[in-house]
Amino acid sequence: MAVSLLIAFAWFSALAGTVLLDGRHGGVLLPAALVGGWLGARVLAWPLRRLMPAPAPPPSRLDFVGRGCVIRTGRVGPDFGQAEVRAEDGSSAVVQVRQSADDATGAGSVLTSGAYALIYDYDAEGEFFRVIPDLPALL
């Protein structure tokens, strides 16, 4: 939008300058038209910026926390595992997941391929998600 405003104001400045100077001083006219275009675009774009919606925050790995996933590896343990999770926009991603030994023995359910799990935490240092067994209805 700003480039369009710059071009429109520069064109108008060049047109007005040509009429006012009767076609003389053409070497001064081009830089003056560019400066006029920049100033006009700057003055008009500044208040319009407030009317434009703020850009959406970039996607984050934390967006997956609280979502259901489907295990895609043969097993999930404290050191290995992958799962497929769907994002808000419907796209899917394969992410690294881990199930702590306490979760596997306490719940009595070791996660295997095709099982449903719930992502409840993200470990930024290890770059993996922590999961627990879940019901398929929550996906």
pTM of the prediction?
0.59
Q: What's at 83, amino acid-wise?
A: A
Is the residue at 133 inside a domain? yes
Tens of pLDDT, residue by residue over 10-30, are: 988 888 888 888 767 767 888
What are the percentages of helix, strand and coil residues in the chain, rounded to 5?
A: 40, 25, 35
Is the residue at 73 inside a domain? yes
Same domain, 44 and 67: no
Tens of pLDDT, residue by residue over 53-101, are: 888 888 888 999 999 999 999 999 999 999 999 988 888 999 999 998 7
Same domain, 15 and 41: yes
- In this prediction, residue 138 carries a pLDDT of 47
In terms of residue numbers, what domain contains 94? 61-138
Task: Tell me whether residue 74 is exposed, middle or buried, using C-beta atoms within 10 angstroms of its C-beta: 0 to 12, 13 to 18, 19 or more.
Answer: exposed
Same domain, 79 and 104: yes
Tens of pLDDT, residue by residue over 25-62, are: 767 888 888 898 889 888 888 888 888 888 888 888 89
Is the residue at 55 inside a domain? no
Is the residue at 45 inside a domain? yes
Is the residue at 28 inside a domain? yes
